[in-house]
Amino acid sequence: LEAGRFYRGLEEKLAIAQRARNKTQVKTLHAKIANRRKDALHKFSRKLANRCGEIYVGNVSSLKLVKTTMAKSVLDAGWGQLKTMLDYKCAHAGIVFKEVDEAYTTQTCSSCGSLPGSRPKG
């Protein structure tokens, strides 16, 4: 899934409507952004559920990433929504869906699971 820029695409129009204090237009633009995001995520999650037999997702906390400088991009991508959609679509289709811990995944050996002494520290 390419990172959708649903909010960023309508950000200028939204700013103009907010400065003009046009509440109905602001509400309409927010609804349009949310609908576009949901539509793209529904289509992507359905493609994944149809194509894959097992889906494993990392336990990246989107709520923690929202507190960083990437907040707008993380919220615009809808990571939390995608995880939720994959969970219930996989349950309905009988597909294995698991959330895995990402701690030390770049350090452990994929075949034996050992932690080499030359791994990155800090």
> Can you give the pLDDT at residue 78?
82
Whole-number pLDDT of residue 109: 72
Look at residue 3 and tell me whether its pLDDT is greater than 90: no
Residue-level pLDDT at 61:
80
Which residue's structure tokens are 């939390």? Answer: 80
pLDDT tens per residue across span 95-104: 999 988 877 6
- Under a CB-based contact definition with an 8 Å cutoff, are residues 13 and 29 in contact? yes
Q: What is the pTM of this model?
A: 0.74
